[in-house]
Amino acid sequence: MEIHVSLIGRRNLSREIYRQLRESIMEGRLRAGDALPPTREMAQRLGVARSTVMIAYDRLLAEGFISARVGAGTFVSALPNRASADQKRPAKRSVLAPRPVWDTMSVAFAQPVTYDFRSGHPDATFFPHDTWDRLLRRALRSSAVASGIYGHPAGLDALREAIARHVGISRGVVCSADDVTITNGTQQAVDVVARVLLAPGDRAAVEDPGYRPIRWLLTSLGVRVACVPVDRDGLVVDKLPRGTRLVHVTPSHHYPLGVSMSLARRLDLLAWAERTDAAIVEDDYDSEFRFDGRPIEPLQALDTAGRVIYVGTFSKTLLPALRLGFVVTPPSLREAMHSAKYVADCHASIPAQVALARFIDEGHFARHIRKMSAVYRERHKLVTECIARDFAERLEVVPSSVGLHFAALARRASAPFIDRVVQRALARGVGIYPLARFAVHHPAAGLIIAYGAIPTALVDEGLSQLRRAFDQR
Ligand SMILES: Cc1ncc(COP(=O)(O)O)c(C=O)c1O
């Protein structure tokens, strides 16, 4: 461990070394059992004579702060009544203020619940831990990691190729590996795209209701964000304000309403982008799971004008904790995407990229999606049937046969009443989100009902707890 000792402007060097080490021990920065560097090494590092360090160590030894073990080294002793580092550290002054924009977001982190109907969570218990563990260990020994140098900002060639093949086959996305940039999830993909295309003060549009982290991201970059309504055909293209440079949409499975954008609307949106010289960010976050009907054609595949940026993620197909996603951009943005990704964080973790490339190439990914599709299909059926039957008087299901959630609109209840139901449900161990939380202008009363994380065996009990939360006075 590097122990910081500063001798700048000091006179009695032995005393300074003694004093600073003693303070680190007393304040808990150095803990019982921590090794001190050998005197020769410490002297070299500080640019002092070895005897200067030995005097300091001898004094610490004599006072019992450290002990020496022959052949092993010098270690910090266990001291009674020593303050924890946090207790003793002087409080920093609170004078720096964040920009006001950071007060406009209610970023929250999900806590575990017994019955998890919250959107955004896949079932982590099915994740193939052993295979991933094996591939990750192999990846740590791969040449891409062992070289010790930074990687290319666009990501590992093998992974870009695997993704280009995967989205080509499974989604009909038209691209080559050169068009793919690996990112830390969707969130970073949109961040990098926004840096490439938007300047502070530019106009962008998001869906309302919609996925809040993207609205917050764009706002934090100084972009003026319009919230555009969504109906059962998807984003209402006619309501896009003049001057919009970029629009973020979830056409395959709207978040949170669960509807798919109709073909007519998709064609309208593409025509709008061409007419107004704008960009479309297509966020295809969970449409690998489809239980009915034909897959809808991605905007990216319909686009002949080079205006669509396609974003995918492994957060639903594998795990959100991996923070792995990708973006497919038109060739005109390629170089700028690489520079922007480099500026953001150089590149995604290489061991994770190597492991994922092999995971896809060896067929584990396709197998996992097949397995999870069967699991989620069963839950989708179970949960929608139960809501349609047992909540018929209270909720109207918005039909959806893709992804890991659907929406249910309240038949009579108001949005504040639904908020109270959500609070009562939480007290009963049920995690569920109100629809209104995701709207800016027209909050609809209703719930987002997700079935990704709830074990099939707990669905009945979880929904009966939800029913009690509705009935509670
Ligand atoms: C609309 C939408 N996009 C993307 C994501 C996933 O984001 P990320 O890939 O950053 O984990 C989610 C997660 O719930 C989402 O709802």
pLDDT digit string, tens, across residues 62-75: 989 999 988 899 99
Average of pLDDT values for 241-265?
97
Residue 442 pLDDT level (bands cut at 50, 70, 90) = confident
312 C-alpha to ligand 1 centroid (Å): 9
Inter-helix orientation angle 185-197/212-220, to 10°: 40
Q: What's the confidence (pLDDT) of residue 345?
A: 97
Q: Over 90: is that where the pLDDT of 108 sits?
A: no
pLDDT of residue 382: 97
* Ligand 1 centroid, distance to 274 Cα (angstroms): 27
Q: Is 365 in the pocket of ligand 1 (CB under 6 A)?
A: no
| pLDDT bucket at 146, cuts 50 / 70 / 90 | confident
- Residue among 285, 406, 451 to mutate when testing ligand 1 (max atoms within 8 A of CB): 285
Which atom of ligand 1 is nearest the CA belonging to 313? 9
Q: How far is the CA of 370 from the centre of ligand 1 (A)?
A: 21
At residue 84, the pLDDT reads 59
Taking residue 406's Cβ as centre, other Cβ atoms within 10 Å add up to 26
What pTM value is reported for the model? 0.88
Q: Give CA 121 to chain center in angstroms.
A: 11
Q: Whose CA is nearest to atom 7 of ligand 1?
A: 186
Residue range 177-192, pLDDT digits in tens: 999 999 999 999 999 9
pLDDT tops 70 at residue 80: yes
> What is the Cα–Cα distance from 353 to 349, expressed in whole angstroms?
6
Give the sheet arrangement for strand 279-283, strand by strand.
180-183, 325-328, 308-313, 279-283, 244-249, 203-208, 224-231, 234-235
Name the token pair of 314: 């492994």
Name, in order, each residue with C-beta under 8 angstroms of 64's C-beta and a sequence gap of 6 or more. 77, 79
Rounded-to-integer distance, Cα 280 and Cα 245, Å: 9
